[in-house]
Amino acid sequence: MNKFFLLILFLTSLARAELSINYASDIQSVTGGIKEGVAVQGNIFLIYNRKRQNHMWRASVLGTHGNSPSELVGDLQTTSNLDIGGINTVKVFELFYEFNFNKLQVLGGMFDLASEFNVTEPASLFIHSSPGTSAGLASAGKFGTAFNPSSALSIRVNYNLSNNTYLKSATTDATPFNPDNPVGTQFTIDQDEGYFFIHEFGFFSENKYKLALGFWHFSKNQEKGYYLNLDYKVSSNFHPFMRYGKVDKDAQTFESNSVVGFTCLNWGVMYSSVDLSPQVNSSKAEEALEVSFLYERENFSFTPHLQYIQNPALSDEDAMVIGLRISSNFSL
């Protein structure tokens, strides 16, 4: 009887929830760089959302396949924001609960920081990684921070100071990626490595502009940095943006990352430049230029793109990347 009752509760929960499958695949052909060739990689998410008036459950499973195009290019920024370094895995990606207390929202569980921190809306059209998350922030720490495709146990607090200003902070495990278990989910806190803290203040007008300033640091090392995001929708057809991120000198691979770009109708153009630390044997900034076009039809989208990578840090030769992203989204 108890088992039957639990089954009814489970089926009722599914009926009130949203289930979806998102799949994205990048096909990128590389000339120049370390080695010419074609790399294909993809991510698939099975997502469960259950929302009520003042709280929400979310869970997702991530499956990955393929090879990293950056192994051919030799760049450190990575030409695809799907990039997981050629690791093929199936793992729990998100598992969190969020509760709203009027102007305060509190979240706890496995969480992807890229869904809320260092976000610039027009940058979502691009394939290159730096428009999505500042290079220094994404690679901070021993093995990177809890930005897609890594997530970590987190507590996030968001407070709406007014209708158009907010202050949010998150605390996560400092090592969401474990090189000894690269295909696993990191459900534990590494006490030896400590915690990662990130804070962001934002000022915005819905569908018009957003200004965000963020600061991040670790509890058990001296690495820290900040970022600034700004985008302004000039019209419904033209949406420019800029991003700047800075890391303490000599703390890691990157010292600064500057990104500027715009979207116009379904077209996008962006330029990204990173200054590298003395740890990298390169005296020149690594630069990337991308031109992309988005075509959407029902549950599918196609993004052909062209990227030119100048001074890739791990290669003596510039690289050209011609690619296509295919994405699909289905609700169950």
Task: List helix spans (H) across the chain.
Answer: 2-15, 70-73, 135-138
Query: Given a cut of 60, is residue 20 above it in pLDDT?
Result: yes
- What pLDDT is recorded for position 188? 65
Query: Given a cut of 80, is residue 186 above it in pLDDT?
Result: no
147 by Cβ neighbours in 10 Å (0-12 / 13-18 / 19+) ranks as buried
Q: Which segment, 27-31, 64-68, 84-88, 188-192, is predicted with the most confidence on average?
A: 27-31
- All structural domains of the chain: 20-331 (2.40.160.10)
- What pLDDT is recorded for position 190? 66
Q: How far apart are CA 190 and CA 142, in angstroms?
A: 12
Of all residues in the chain, what percent carry a pLDDT higher than 70?
88
Q: How confident is the model at residue 149 (pLDDT cuts 50, 70, 90)?
A: confident
Q: How far apart are CA 272 and CA 286, in angstroms?
A: 8
Q: How far apart are CA 253 and CA 231, in angstroms?
A: 27
C-alpha distance from residue 44 to each of 124, 135, 183 (Å): 17, 23, 15
Q: How confident is the model at residue 220 (pLDDT cuts 50, 70, 90)?
A: confident
- What pLDDT is recorded for position 104? 95
- What pLDDT is recorded for position 1? 43
How many CA atoms lie within 13 Å of 232's alpha carbon, on the beta-carbon side? Answer: 3
Beta strands in 180-285 (DSSP E): 195-205, 209-218, 224-232, 238-247, 254-264, 267-276
- Residue 161: alpha-carbon gap to chain centroid: 26
Closest to 274 in 3D by CA, of 138, 118, 134, 147: 134
C-alpha distance from residue 237 to each of 124, 170, 234 (Å): 15, 34, 8
The amino acid at residue 216 is: W
DSSP code for 73: H
Q: How far apart are CA 80 and CA 332, in angstroms?
A: 28
Query: Given a cut of 90, is residue 305 above it in pLDDT?
Result: yes
Among the listed ranges 24-28, 160-164, 193-197, 294-298, which one has the minimum average pLDDT value? 193-197
Q: Which residue has the higher pLDDT, 249 or 303?
A: 303
Tell me the pLDDT tens digit for each residue of 138-148: 888 777 787 87
Tell me the pLDDT tens digit for each residue of 172-183: 988 876 666 666
Q: Model pTM greater than 0.85? A: yes
Among the listed ranges 193-197, 225-229, 288-292, which one has the minimum average pLDDT value? 193-197
Tell me the pLDDT tens digit for each residue of 21-69: 999 999 999 999 999 999 999 999 999 999 888 899 999 999 999 999 9
Contact 66, 39 (CB under 8 A): yes
Tell me the pLDDT tens digit for each residue of 248-280: 866 678 889 999 999 999 999 999 999 987 777
What is the signed CA dihedral for 146, 142, 118, 222, rounded to 10 degrees? 130
Q: Which residues contact 326 (CB under 8 A, 6 or more apart)?
A: 24, 25, 27, 300, 301, 302
Q: How far apart are CA 121 and CA 136, in angstroms?
A: 19
Q: How far apart are CA 228 and CA 169, in angstroms?
A: 16
What is the signed CA dihedral for 75, 80, 82, 84, rounded to 10 degrees? -10
